[in-house]
Amino acid sequence: MDYLKIIKTVKKRLESSHDMKREHIRKDFFIAEYKFFKEHIKNKRVLVAGSGLGHDSIEIAKNGNKVLGIELITEYIKIAKEKVEVMGLKNLRFEEGNFKKLDYPNKSFDVAVLNMGTIGDFEDKKTILRELLRVAKKVYFDFYPPTKKGLEKRKRMYEEENWKNVKVQDENITSEDGLYSKSISREEIKKIVQEINAEVKFYSFCDFSLMAEVTEN
């Protein structure tokens, strides 16, 4: 997915998915994810890779963590910074950058986070995980296994988020407006992690998604 070409479309998607004032599938996902982060990430130096409009970075910062959000799209960073200024969060900041190539020394962070199942959408997964693990002692990311039940629920979730003409194709989700969501299995994750000389532990936190915890061997 070329996020730079569909900035406005992705922005609408992020705003819709993070609307916690109405009942929808993604709301339950975020409630479970934020509970997981609250239990596993406390008083840490945290890098949020692809911080978007800042929602998840804000939640992680509320747990006493010192958080840096890295985002490629300038417009999103501006929105995120405005939110933080209004909330007065001193332990959270945002920078423009590409998390595939970071300008930080090894182990500058205790934890790196990549969320909303986006790991499946990238072709260069090893590059991403290797770089995040270089700058952080531990990496957390959620992903979507290609189960029939999970695909059906994700389809409904994206329809709730106003994706246009959502379809399930080859264990992935596609739409007419250029958005898509790729599935990835535990076995694929294990193979990638082994190839970068690391180890992975899986946690169940949602009925259509799993959380992976990656550390160096």
Q: Which residue bears the tokens 């990311």?
A: 141
Task: Encode 127-156: b = buried (16+ Cβ within 10 Å), e = exposed.
Answer: ebbbbbbbbbbbbbbbbbbbeeebbebbbe
Homologous superfamily of 7-145+185-216: Vaccinia Virus protein VP39 (3.40.50.150)
Residues across the chain = 217
Q: How far is CA 133 from CA 89, 138, 149, 196, 205, in A?
A: 26, 6, 32, 9, 22
| Side-chain half-sphere CA neighbours of 36 within 13 A | 22
User: What pLDDT is stored for residue 8 in this prediction?
Assistant: 82
Per residue in 3-27, is it b (16+ CB within 10 Å) or e — as a string? beeeeebbbebbebbbeeeeebbbb
- Tens-level pLDDT at each residue, the chain (217 residues): 555 566 788 888 889 999 999 999 999 999 999 999 999 999 999 999 999 999 999 999 999 999 999 999 999 999 999 999 999 999 999 999 999 999 999 999 999 999 999 999 999 999 999 999 999 999 999 999 999 999 999 999 999 999 999 999 999 999 998 889 999 999 999 999 999 999 999 999 999 999 999 999 9
Residue 168 structure tokens: 């399930």
| Confidence at residue 181, expressed as pLDDT on a 0 to 100 scale | 95
